[in-house]
């Protein structure tokens, strides 16, 4: 089992969530090797003891566990494959944990290719946004071998609270797709609820406080609804990344012969929001689009 005293963790991708995850691992006593395309994103971590690597090759050779959390499936492929990828450069028996929300099919591909190289791969996407990353309360949805899951469980326990193994390779990504589908239509409901309260002349903050304690309660309502009322559109999770997730989920659903009308509607609205110039805003910015369509002033 991996321990803080004996395990060097390599972490690739220091975005909104990745940076906080690295901080939590360092505070738990792990030695961290880090790499990201923009070194300036790592400066704060380097000042507190993280080791910088110039590329994935160097990081892979120096790490016992490698965690990747990048943007898109194509970014995952670039990090894992090729002469400069993790698969060709990691030490034998290294654990590879992709926490990017990516395609289930790609997770299965990485698992099989890792095994050929004497490596152990897990897909472990997360939910909880910037708040969950900072507080170490992420939900971690894992696919892969049971023994490998239990080996790296101490790392997962630093990063999250709800940690689970859902099945073989790809099962973590399928679970994350189910998570994103649930969020997609819920976000429409949260926005329309707030706009309805405003249109009816109610105190929207008081309405939010009240309905957040009843059957309508959800993470999106309590946390992102609050940000909507405060006109805080900073990204806990980017619109552009949510669009990517919904596209993967819709593709996966269609591959299984399943219609997903709610998901299709949400994807359509978020694409319209991105076209308004909000691709780099947080997902709560959806209320801007719906308020504009309803001619309601926020």
pLDDT (tens digit, 9 = 90+) per residue, 150-172?
999 999 999 999 999 999 999 99
Q: Any idea which residue has 């990828």 for tokens? A: 85
CA distance 21 to 179: 20
Q: How much is the pLDDT for 4?
A: 83
Q: How much is the pLDDT for 61?
A: 97
Q: How much is the pLDDT for 43?
A: 95
Per the CB < 8 A criterion, the answer to whether 268 and 242 are in contact is no
Domains along the sequence of the chain with CATH = 8-168 (3.40.50.720), 174-294 (1.10.1040.10)
113 burial (CB, 10 Å; 0-12 / 13-18 / 19+) is: middle
Per the CB < 8 A criterion, the answer to whether 253 and 260 are in contact is yes
CA distance 282 to 298: 16
Per the CB < 8 A criterion, the answer to whether 145 and 114 are in contact is no
Q: Considering only the C-alpha atoms of the chain, give the largest distance between any 2 of them, rounded to a whole number of Å.
A: 64
pLDDT (tens digit, 9 = 90+) per residue, 52-103?
999 999 999 999 999 999 999 999 999 999 999 999 999 999 999 999 999 9
DSSP-assigned beta bridge partners for residue 123: 98, 143
Helix (H, G, I), strand (E, B), or coil: what is residue 200?
Answer: coil
For the chain, what's the residue count?
298
Helix (H, G, I), strand (E, B), or coil: what is residue 8?
Answer: strand
Q: How confident is the model at residue 129 (pLDDT cuts 50, 70, 90)?
A: confident
176 is catalytic: yes
Q: What count of Cα atoms within 13 Å lies in the side-chain half-sphere of residue 73?
A: 17
pTM score of the predicted model: 0.93
pLDDT (tens digit, 9 = 90+) per residue, 167-212?
999 999 999 999 999 999 999 999 999 999 999 999 999 999 999 9
Q: Any idea which residue has 């806990």 for tokens? A: 236
Residue in 23, 176, 244, 288 annotated catalytic: 176
How many CB atoms are closer than 10 A to CB 226?
15
70 burial (CB, 10 Å; 0-12 / 13-18 / 19+) is: buried
Structure tokens at 184: 């997609």
Q: Strands (DSSP E) along the chain, which ranges?
A: 8-12, 31-35, 51-52, 65-68, 95-98, 120-123, 126-127, 138-143, 160-167
Q: How much is the pLDDT for 271?
A: 98
């Amino acid at each position: 089992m991996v321990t803080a005293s004996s395990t060097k963790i390599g972490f690739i991708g220091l975005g909104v969530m990745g940076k906080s995850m690295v901080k939590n691992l360092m505070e738990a006593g792990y030695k961290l090797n880090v790499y990201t395309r923009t070194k300036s994103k790592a400066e704060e971590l380097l000042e507190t003891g993280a080791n910088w690597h110039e590329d994935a090759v160097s990081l892979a050779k120096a790490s016992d566990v490698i965690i990747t959390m990048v943007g898109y499936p194509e970014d995952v492929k670039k990090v894992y494959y090729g002469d400069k990828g993790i698969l060709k450069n990691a030490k034998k028996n290294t654990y590879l944990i992709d926490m990017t929300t990516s395609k289930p099919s790609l997770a299965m591909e990485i698992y099989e290719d890792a095994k050929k190289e004497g490596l152990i791969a897990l897909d472990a996407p997360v939910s909880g946004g910037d708040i969950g990353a900072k507080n170490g309360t992420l939900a971690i949805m894992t696919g892969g071998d049971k023994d490998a899951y239990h080996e790296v469980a101490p790392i997962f326990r630093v990063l999250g609270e709800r940690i689970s193994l859902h099945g073989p390779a790809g099962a973590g990504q399928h679970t994350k797709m189910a998570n994103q589908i649930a969020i997609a239509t819920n976000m429409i409901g949260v926005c329309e609820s707030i706009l309805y309260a405003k249109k009816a002349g109610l105190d929207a903050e008081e309405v939010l406080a009240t309905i957040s304690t009843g059957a309508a309660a959800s993470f999106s309502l309590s946390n992102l609804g609050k940000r909507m009322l405060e006109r805080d559109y900073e990204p806990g999770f980017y619109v552009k990344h949510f669009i990517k997730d919904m596209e993967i989920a819709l593709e996966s659903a269609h591959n299984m012969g399943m219609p997903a009308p709610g998901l299709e509607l949400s994807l359509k609205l978020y694409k319209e929001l991105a076209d308004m110039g909000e691709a780099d805003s947080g997902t709560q910015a959806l209320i801007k689009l719906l308020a504009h369509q309803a001619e309601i002033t926020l």
